[in-house]
Structure 1
Amino acid sequence: MEKIQRKKMYEEVADRITQRLEDGQLKPGDRLPSVEALSKEFGVGRSAIREALSALRAINVLEMKHGEGTYIRTFQPQHMTFPSVSASLMKKEDIAHLLEVRQYLETGTAAAAAIRRTPDHLAEMKQSLALMKGTVIEEAADFAFHQTILTAAQNPLLQQLWNTISDMLKRAMRDTRRIWFEQETMSAQLHKEHKAIYLAIEKGDANEARTTMETHLRTVQRQWNEI
């Protein structure tokens, strides 16, 4: 049996830095403290800090500016090897691009789900829908609803595409929800749209499922543009 490998010191440091990025403590464009300062803060040697920074530069999380220091990069769609980290780098225009991708991906997925869904898929969607009812839509329930539709489409390639952007979707949902769902009318509207999607999939109407999903995503995109 293969032994479990302990993380190296520089990997622990890199994890701590990316966690701060994902938590919002660090943001794109922020300048990191010096190697010496980070060494004291994390209680490790300078070599471990340098290795950690080098590793994060290699995956396009950090960039070195000659004579200035090390900075958090802005979001780069061509570098999404680590989607959870990429999600933390997204700006408003990046989320707008993500919403456009959702239009392409989820309308077809909803149509496929209407044809291939099982009773279990419908039960999961119905459960998520129930959790979304009220003045505040639960973030996890909203994401789970869309995730179940993707699963119901029963297409492994679609699943892989979804997995690539799922962390970014969660980030976008969290950011927009803080503004939209304080409005009772918006919460009610979005619940109504989710219910329409569910009913279309439940009765196996692919065209209606596609249309209701498109209507919902257009609402999301319109509201985002107004922020």
Structure 2
Amino acid sequence: MVNEGNGRVKLKSVSRSTLSKQVVERIVQMLTSGQMKPGDRLPSEMELIEDLGVSRPILREALSALEILEIITRKTREGTFFNEKVGSHPFSVMLALSADNLPAIVEARMTLELGLVTLAAEKITDDQLKELRETIDAIANSKDNDYGEIDKEFHRIIALSANSSVFEGMIHSLLIAHDKTDREIKYRERERTVKHHTAIYNALANHDPYEAYKQMYHHLNYVRQKVSEHYRV
């Protein structure tokens, strides 16, 4: 990737294998190398297609992945821009580079949540526990097993109850990782989810970080196994 001296960013072309991921990597490198900054406008689609040597569908697939991760924003008639606050979400870039590796994303999610749940056990408030209980009841009473957003809210409350400004960017990335995992799950088991969430809730209500860690690991390891089954098919 070089600057041709005419203001145009020149990217190294990509090979035919794993094209979408390589395009994501090349675009992220424009940012991480310092060649472009948050808020900067990316080259046009035609320039990117020419420089990367890929088709329009491949480029748009990569741009969609980057937009989901909130690294870029596409504005009609204005172009595509790196988001101003990319730096406030430090794990989003790492998620982007692993966009097609769901098992790695699940493991990153495990790493974040297992740390957050132990802090949550020490700091969670009665109001937050009440909110957690409400999400469990809502999942238990769901009629069509379409409870992905409620599930995410359960994990969001726990993450926020860790009450640490340092973890703010991590929580943002955690929720992105949750969405990515949720979209790939082909079947849901409501009763099992309620059982797992209730065990986590009880540990938090008892302010027991060791039990909270144990129950969260049990829950997320089950999610990891479901993802592994999907990838073996």
TM-score class, shorter? 0.5 to 0.7
Q: Contact 2:109 / 2:174 at 8 angstroms: preserved in 1?
A: no
Rate the CA distance shift 1:97–1:117 in 2: closer, same or farther, 3 A: same
| Corresponding residue of 2:27 | none
Query: Is the partner of 1:180 in helix, strand or coil?
Result: coil
Distance in 2, matches of 1:154 and 1:208, equals 19
Is residue 53 of structure 1 aligned with residue 63 of structure 2?
A: no
Distance in 2, matches of 1:201 and 1:54, equals 53
Distance in 1, matches of 2:139 and 2:166, equals 28
Is residue 101 of structure 1 aligned with residue 111 of structure 2?
A: no
> Identity over the aligned pairs, expressed in percent?
20
Q: 2:153 aligns with which of 137, 144, 147?
A: 144
Is residue 209 of structure 1 aligned with residue 212 of structure 2?
A: yes
| Corresponding residue of 1:128 | 135
Please state how far the C-alpha of 1:65 moved relative to its aligned partner.
Answer: 3.9
Query: Is the partner of 1:154 in helix, strand or coil?
Result: coil
Please state how far the C-alpha of 1:165 moved relative to its aligned partner.
Answer: 4.1
Distance in 2, matches of 1:110 and 1:188, equals 22
Q: Contact 2:121 / 2:205 at 8 angstroms: preserved in 1?
A: yes
Rate the CA distance shift 1:180–1:119 in 2: closer, same or farther, 3 A: same
Rate the CA distance shift 1:208–1:137 in 2: closer, same or farther, 3 A: farther
Please state how far the C-alpha of 1:28 moved relative to its aligned partner.
Answer: 4.2
Please state how far the C-alpha of 1:167 moved relative to its aligned partner.
Answer: 2.3
| Structure 2 gaps, min length 5 | 1-18, 22-41, 73-91
Rate the CA distance shift 1:141–1:80 in 2: closer, same or farther, 3 A: closer
Is residue 173 of structure 1 aligned with residue 182 of structure 2?
A: yes
Query: Is the partner of 2:140 in helix, strand or coil?
Result: coil
| Corresponding residue of 1:155 | 164
Query: Is the partner of 2:225 in helix, strand or coil?
Result: helix
Q: 1:190 aligns with which of 189, 193, 196?
A: 193
Q: Contact 2:109 / 2:177 at 8 angstroms: preserved in 1?
A: no
Rate the CA distance shift 1:200–1:225 in 2: closer, same or farther, 3 A: same
Letter in 1 for 2:196: E
| Structure 1 gaps, min length 5 | 1-26, 30-49
Letter in 2 for 1:107: L
| Corresponding residue of 2:203 | 200
Q: What TM-score comes out, normalization by structure 1 length?
A: 0.61
Rate the CA distance shift 1:115–1:212 in 2: closer, same or farther, 3 A: same
| Corresponding residue of 1:81 | 71
Distance in 1, matches of 2:215 and 2:229, equals 22
Q: Contact 1:109 / 1:149 at 8 angstroms: preserved in 2?
A: yes
Coordinate RMSD, CA, aligned: 3.2
User: How many residues in Structure 1 have an aligned counterpart in Structure 2?
Assistant: 163
Is residue 115 of structure 1 aligned with residue 122 of structure 2?
A: yes
Query: Is the partner of 1:204 in helix, strand or coil?
Result: coil
Letter in 1 for 2:71: T
Please state how far the C-alpha of 1:220 moved relative to its aligned partner.
Answer: 0.3
